[in-house]
Every structure is written in C-alpha cells, then in structure tokens.
Amino acid sequence: MEPVLAEELTAMGATNVAPARRAVSFEGDKKMLYRANLELRTGLRILKPIKQFTARNEQQLYDGIYAIDWSQYMDLKSTFAIDGVTSSQFFNHSKYVALKSKDALVDQFREREGKRPNVNPVTPDLRINVFIYEHTVHVALDSSGDSLHKRNHGRETLEAPINEVLAAGMIKLAGWNCDRPFLDPMCGSATIPIEAAMLAYNIPSQIHRTDFGFMNWPDFDSELWETVRKEALDRVREFDHPIVGFDSDFQAVRIAERNVVQAGLENKVEIKRQKFERISEPSPAGIIVMNPPYDERLAMDDIYDFYGMIGDQFKKQFGGHQAWIISSNMDAIKSIGLRASKKMTLFNGPLECKFLKFELYAGSKKQKYKNKES
Ligand SMILES: C[S@@+](CC[C@H](N)C(=O)[O-])C[C@H]1O[C@@H](n2cnc3c(N)ncnc32)[C@H](O)[C@@H]1O
C-alpha cells in the first residue's frame, strides 16, 4: 500500500514523499498535517517526528526520552499514552520500550513539578510514538489520535469485515478512475462501496470525525482547521455512475443500508439483496471489486464450487467488466477458471491474501473462455 499512500500525499502537495517499509515519510506545513488527517484514505496514523537519538540499552533509551522537554507538548493535567514499536536486536519488546519511555517522561515531570501526569491508554490527550529501528530511536507525536481506518460514521460490522484503509487501497490499486460504474456483489457491511463513493464524490475520509490528536496540541490552530475543512468540502464533486453493493444475506443488507445512511451516502450508494449466482444482465460495464468468503472466518459448504460459480457468472454475465477479487484461499481462486492479468499480495489483518484482476472480455472474446474450458 505504500506507493498508493505516497501517491495520495503527492497529489495533496506534500514534499519529499518517500515510501518506506509500512510507512511513507513526507514534509509539509501545519496545513498539510491537517489535510493529511482529514483526507488521506490509505494512511493509519500521521506521526510528527520530534527527536531522533541513538540507544543500545535501556538506560540510553531512558536518557534520550528524559532529555526531551515534555512541557512543550503537555502539562500535568494532560493524560498521555506511549506506543512502542521495535525492529531492533537491542530492544525485543515493544511494551517494555513503551514502559521505559513512560518512566522517563513521568520522572521528568515529578522532578520538575513534584507531581506526575496520568496515563490514559484509550483516549489520551497526547499519544506518543517511540519507534526503534536497530539502535536509532524515533520519537514522534501522533497527530491522528485514534487510527484513521476508523471513519467515525458509526459503522456496524458483520462477521468478516474488511478494514476501511484496505478497502480504499484496493479501489485505488484497481485503478478505478471514477469513470465507470462500481459494483461489489458480496458487499457485507458495505465497506467497499462506501469507500468507493467517498472517493468518487471526493468526500474527505474523516469528514465525520471531530476529534484528532493534533487538536490537543498547544499549537492547535482552530481557524486553520476550519479553513482546511471548508476547502476540502468545496472540493466535493458530482459523480454520474452507479455505485452498487449486493449481498445474499438479509442481515448483511440491513447493516449495509444502515451504514450507507450513517456515512451520509444515501442516494449515492445502492444496496440490494441479491445472490451473485442469480444476477443476469447487470448494469453497463464497470469495475467489480469484491471480497468473497475465504472459508477462513466464514465457513462455506463447498468453497471450490462457490468460486467456480463466481467464474461462471463472470463469463456469462459480466463481459466488458473488469473484476478484482481479494482472497486468502489460493486453491479456491483456481476454481474461478480464468487467468488473472494482475496479482498483488495484500494483508487482510493477519491473513495473507492475493488481490487479482480478471479482464472479462465482451462479445467475440467469449470464445477465449470456451477455448480455455474445453
Ligand atoms: C467476506 S464477507 C464481505 C465483507 C465486506 N467486505 C465487509 O467489509 O463487510 C463476504 C460476503 O459475501 C456474502 N455472500 C456469500 N455468498 C454470497 C452469494 N452467493 N451472493 C452474494 N453474496 C454472498 C456474505 O453474506 C458476506 O457478507
């Protein structure tokens, strides 16, 4: 996902955008920081680096954290939390890194003011990130607060929901230019169609969120934040193609419909109860992005027949469409019976998945499938 995130940042005007492993670094002013939090679709947290130092043991870690003047960022009344992340031969346990860093911060306040601020792991005023790569410690303030995959439109989920950031990333990786209809025929709680609509109408991903980490920082500029929000809303645009989610399950359809309303997308996303195998004469050729059951978290009677049915429907009903499927079940994917023209590896939580593209040719190209099957 790093290249997709880098592309989003570049389009937003960030400078020195550089993809790294599980992260993208960039430069920008305070306005860019606010915009990134409000509008990015494929980022989880936006961290503002405040210090980098070398540490090969816990004392050096403690000293480095202690040397930061924490009164610049918080006071005794502020609650805080520290997320530790390690990829280092010197520090094995991220929880221990967080604990040691907390001790240093607390000791600084206690020695200066005789009292210490409290930890609040869930909703702290200040969230701090301490990342150690080998012997380099990167200390950053978490400007997002809660993870940005939460879009805060009160979504209800079903058994195997996909994460919003993954859904948005898949849509972008699929190369949908918002120039054709969009269909998710197994939409579950509608995460994918909702992200598609947010993208198509250029609605900021965090338009429903009122609480970001940077709002508790002493330098929070509420006027600038209002300007950023207003400018983003001014960029919302019209979109003329259907965005549709189907699901065979009654409960899923009810939840999907509610989620669409919660996200403020009624009239923009259509949800229907429909079995994929029953679809005939679908809407004009568009893009399909789907997340079928994998038989990992959702049990299926015969997963091979099920994926075979998906392939048959693609061939019979979806000529001219472009279909993308995410699944961790590679054996089942083979039962689709079509050759993927692109393959990528993505992680859906802990599950390693393939994200595959199938070009479904219309008209004379149907012959191609027949040849393959015979
Ligand atoms: C992995 S879930 C999709 C989760 C969804 N992406 C979300 O974020 O909530 C797979 C969905 O496929 C639906 N499904 C299973 N068989 C189906 C069929 N034959 N036709 C349509 N939908 C089906 C299930 O009801 C389930 O909601």
For the chain, give the percent of residues with pLDDT over 90: 84
Q: Are residues 70 and 8 in the same domain?
A: yes
Q: Are residues 132 and 170 in the same domain?
A: no
Q: Are residues 225 and 189 in the same domain?
A: yes
Taking CA atoms only, the protein residue closest to ligand 1 atom 27 is 188
- Pocket flag, ligand 1, residue 248 (CB < 6 Å): yes
Q: Where are the alpha helices (DSSP H) in the chain?
A: 2-12, 30-39, 58-66, 94-113, 164-173, 191-200, 222-234, 250-262, 303-317, 330-334, 366-373
Query: Looking only at Cα atoms, what is the longest distance across the chain?
Result: 82
Q: Which amino acid is at 219?
A: D
Q: Is residue 148 part of a domain?
A: no
Ligand 1 atom nearest the C-alpha of 252 is 27
Q: Is residue 279 part of a domain?
A: yes
Task: Read off the tokens for 178.
Answer: 């918002």
Q: Are residues 319 and 172 in the same domain?
A: yes
- Residue where one domain finishes, among candidates 94, 112, 142: 142
Taking CA atoms only, the protein residue closest to ligand 1 atom 17 is 248
Signed CA dihedral, 256, 259, 263, 266: sign only: positive
Q: Is residue 27 part of a domain?
A: yes
The CA-CA-CA angle for residues 235, 143, 78, to 5°, reads 135
Segment 83-95, tens digit of pLDDT: 999 998 889 899 9
Do the beta carbons of residue 207 and residue 197 sit within 8 Å?
no
Q: Is residue 286 part of a domain?
A: yes
Domain count, the chain: 2
Do the beta carbons of residue 248 and residue 298 sit within 8 Å?
no
Q: Domain of 28: which CATH number? A: 3.30.2130.30
Q: Are residues 351 and 315 in the same domain?
A: yes
Residue 370, phi then psi, degrees to nearest 5: -60, -45
- Residue where one domain finishes, among candidates 94, 109, 142: 142
Ligand 1 site-directed mutation target among 249, 275, 348, 351, most atoms within 8 Å of CB: 249
Residue 43 Cα distances to 144, 166, 252, 346, angstroms:
10, 10, 27, 15
Ligand 1 atom nearest the C-alpha of 192 is 6
Q: Are residues 231 and 87 in the same domain?
A: no
Q: Is residue 209 part of a domain?
A: no
- Pocket flag, ligand 1, residue 166 (CB < 6 Å): no
pTM of the prediction?
0.91
Do the beta carbons of residue 191 and residue 158 sit within 8 Å?
no
Q: Are residues 198 and 299 in the same domain?
A: yes
Segment 328-337, tens digit of pLDDT: 999 899 999 9
Section 94-101 average pLDDT: 96
Q: Are residues 131 and 177 in the same domain?
A: no
Q: Is residue 334 part of a domain?
A: yes
Q: Are residues 108 and 168 in the same domain?
A: no
Segment 36-47, tens digit of pLDDT: 999 999 999 999
Give me ligand 1 centre to Cα 277, in Å. 13
Q: Is residue 158 part of a domain?
A: no
Q: Domain of 333: which CATH number? A: 3.40.50.150
Taking CA atoms only, the protein residue closest to ligand 1 atom 7 is 161
Taking CA atoms only, the protein residue closest to ligand 1 atom 26 is 188
What is the pLDDT at residue 368?
A: 45
Q: Are residues 180 and 255 in the same domain?
A: yes
3-state helix, strand, coil in the chain (%, to 5): 35, 20, 40
Q: Are residues 75 and 178 in the same domain?
A: no
Segment 124-181, tens digit of pLDDT: 999 999 999 999 999 999 999 999 999 877 778 777 789 999 999 999 999 999 999 9
Range of the domain at 53: 2-142
- Pocket flag, ligand 1, residue 142 (CB < 6 Å): no
Give me ligand 1 centre to Cα 273, in Å. 11
Give me ligand 1 centre to Cα 372, in Å. 28
Give me ligand 1 centre to Cα 175, in Å. 23
Q: Are residues 124 and 226 in the same domain?
A: no
Give me ligand 1 centre to Cα 298, in Å. 9
Q: Is residue 156 part of a domain?
A: no
